[in-house]
Chains A and B, each alone.
Chain A
Amino acid sequence: MTRGLWWRLGPLWSLVSLLLIVYAVTVVTSYLGESVQVQFQYALVNLVIVVALYMFIGTSGVLSFGHVAFVALGAWTVGLLTIESDLKRNLLSDMFPFLFEVQAPWLPAILIGGIVGGLLALLVAPVLMRLNGLQAGIATFALLLVVGQVLTYWSSIGPRSGQSMVGIPDVLDLQTTMFFALGAIVIAWLFQRTRPARLLRAAREDGIAAAASGINVVTQRVIAFALSGLIAGIAGGLFALTNRVVQASLFGIELTFITLAMLVLGGMLSLSGAVIGALVFSVIDLVLVRLQNGLEIGSVIVSLPQGTRPIILGAILVLMLIFRPSGLTGGREIVWPFRRTPPLPGVPPTNE
């Protein structure tokens, strides 16, 4: 009886604890001054991207370098929908005329951005999802580069090459961003418990057995890819409203790498890994920014030389991959700390 209850509440606890952690860190940062708040808002946007990455990579075990393309589409959509018509006519004069007229309030704009991202994912998924391993990585990478090129050079849907979209309204605050982040975590958690996600995890663990038992992995992967594309698109919208300047070059290899690094840092096989990886990475980054600007400890000013911050971040990732390749969480979810949850069948107990 109690065991049955724990079975049901155990996973719920992992969700609640993640939500509480994100909430707590947000509350703490909101007391640390405006520049920290702004930086943490970016961190929350990245967290949503990482959760989106997890929904696909963590569940299917297939590498994707393409999700930032969906982020880009989400940001683009929100930019086009929220900049005032007159401003668009002046600054983005090469665009298709109908794009000058379309407008939406920021909240629906974010959702539309998510749908656009999800639609692109859905469109390319039936083709891309047949690939595995390195081939999947390279194909999704090619997708990222194609989308980047189109957004950079096709001035009928945005600014001319080298220019950016400006005039995005200042409407999104830290708290609202946090609610989106919490929402993304809830959606990812719910998705984990659906049939497609469970089938994908089974196939990830044992591809041959899954294929033998007749699971059509491609269909499940398409579902996961499209859904995570939707979340990535929403993250793109959040990014647009946070940054308030949108340019194709923002959505390239660097953002892809940083968000993947967060996922790997936390442990790419669990939702807890995605969330904790994003938070830990962001908090380290916050500290490094403080240090780089000079931090007073007592009478001593500690300061890092300019340009060392990304080096330290890169070094942390590489060292992490060497010494703890399964990430901070080791691919496990957070468990109820006061009672041992029953071990999963087939998983040998560990002494960590």
Chain B
Amino acid sequence: MNQLIQSLVDALSAGATLGLAALAIGLVFGVIRLANFAQGEIITASGYSIIFTWQLGWYVAIPIAILIGVILSLLMELGVFSRMRTATPATLLVASFGLSFLLQRVYELLFSNNVQTAPVAPELAQSVDVGGIRIQLLSVATIVIAGVLLFALIQFLNKSIWGLQLQAAAADFRTARLVGIPASRVIGLSFALSGILAAAVAFVSTVQTGAVGPTFGVPIVILALIGAVIGGIDKIYGALAGGFLVGFATSMLASWLPSDMSNFRDAYVFLLVIIVLIIRPSGLLVSGGTVRT
């Protein structure tokens, strides 16, 4: 019982993290059909910034991490993706692969191949006793952070006129422009939001590991991208749910697979992904039809 609750809390937290990362990918995909693999490098950049500035206090480190995430995300759009508006989603994905590879090497050059370390919010790395059950404080914090962010984001998307414009553009880009919604505004908005989400993911991940290297964001973005696609990448909430599911499943398998099989944890997840894709190619949460590509 004890172990079950503990593993559930961990899985919820892993799911929340990947849900946020997948949501960042889904927001951008909805608008310009880009599945941005280089989202991982935005997470890495924010991660580095948290490591380097944590000693100045969280109230400095976190805003800077958000700023870095937003700026890098917007730079990617301005420097690369805005010049590829007529490319197919497949070409865009390859370009984002290239950008990801490029940025990893730049990080290597700037910060060396070794990880940079700092104790980030060590108080969160403890376990607390809740009615005889030991629970990682970080897991709880991750769930709370993800919950608060999601609530704020949903309020923004549904209530503010900018959020509505983003939803309209994600649903039907041409009509949105015909109605008068500026393309550059919603595209910029989607990249900026994905930068904020990247910073949040970077924060919970750096607390967990206390170390950031050039490929810090890669495993996160792989699982998030896969999650976004199986959830239905062209629906914002589909991407979120898919990311959550992949994170939840990975964490649960890690907790419950017998030890001699736990090495193959990710292999099971990926097999599951292939099966889901075959059964529901347009996404678990999407009813019928195929993704516009």
Contact = CB atoms under 8 A, between A and B. Distances in A.
B109 A314 contact: no
Interface stretch (B3-11, B53-61, B140-148, B222-230): B222-230
A340 B282 CA distance: 45
Nearest to A154: B264
B83 A137 contact: no
A226 B266 CA distance: 25
Nearest to A130: B278
Contact of A134 (B97, B273, B293): B293
11 contacts: A133-B90, A134-B35, A135-B277, A138-B225, A141-B226, A161-B263, A253-B222, A261-B97, A310-B101, A311-B106, A322-B95
B104 to A, nearest CB: 8
B102 A134 contact: no
A146 B230 CA distance: 16
A142 B90 contact: no
A123 to B, nearest CB: 12
Contact of A149 (B83, B222, B263): B263
Given A133-B90, A134-B293, A310-B101, A325 B84 contact: yes
A335 interface: no
Interface in A141-186: 141-143, 145-146, 149-150, 152-154, 161
Contacts of A127: 274, 278
A134 B274 contact: no
A260 B80 contact: no
A264 interface: yes
B213 to A, nearest CB: 14
Nearest to B293: A133
Given A127-B274, A139-B274, A308-B109, A314 B291 contact: no
B98 A150 contact: no
A116 interface: no
Given A137-B93, A322-B83, A314 B270 contact: no
Q: Which 9 A-B pairs have the closest CB atoms?
A: A314-B102, A133-B293, A153-B263, A149-B267, A142-B270, A317-B98, A310-B105, A138-B229, A321-B95
Given A130-B278, A145-B267, A325-B84, 6 more contacts: A128-B278, A135-B282, A146-B270, A149-B267, A154-B264, A321-B84
A314 B105 contact: yes
A323 to B, nearest CB: 8
B55 to A, nearest CB: 28
B149 interface: no
A132 interface: yes
A318 B90 contact: no
Contacts of B274: 127-128, 139, 142-143, 146
Residue picked from A131, A149, A260, A261, most chain B C-beta under 10 Å:
A149
A134 B150 CA distance: 26
Given A142-B226, A311-B106, A133 B291 contact: yes
B80 to A, nearest CB: 6
A311 B101 CA distance: 8
Interface of A: 63, 127-128, 130-135, 137-139, 141-143, 145-146, 149-150, 152-154, 161, 253-254, 257, 260-261, 264, 305, 307-308, 310-311, 314-315, 317-318, 321-322, 325
Nearest to A127: B278
B91 to A, nearest CB: 6
Contacts of A311: 102, 105-106, 109
A261 B98 contact: yes
Given A127-B278, A149-B263, A321 B271 contact: no
A329 B131 CA distance: 68
A321 B83 CA distance: 9
Contacts of B290: 132
A296 B266 CA distance: 49
B264 A307 contact: no
Interface in B75-92: 80, 83-84, 87, 89-91
Contact of A321 (B98, B277, B281): B98
A96 B222 CA distance: 32
B255 to A, nearest CB: 18
B105 A321 contact: no
B260 to A, nearest CB: 10
B94 interface: yes
B109 A321 contact: no
Contact of B233 (A128, A134, A149, A254): A134
Contacts of A325: 84, 87, 91
B99 interface: yes
A318 B278 CA distance: 31
Nearest to B88: A133
A146 B271 CA distance: 7
A135 B263 contact: no
A135 B105 CA distance: 28
Contacts of A139: 273-274, 277-278
A92 to B, nearest CB: 17
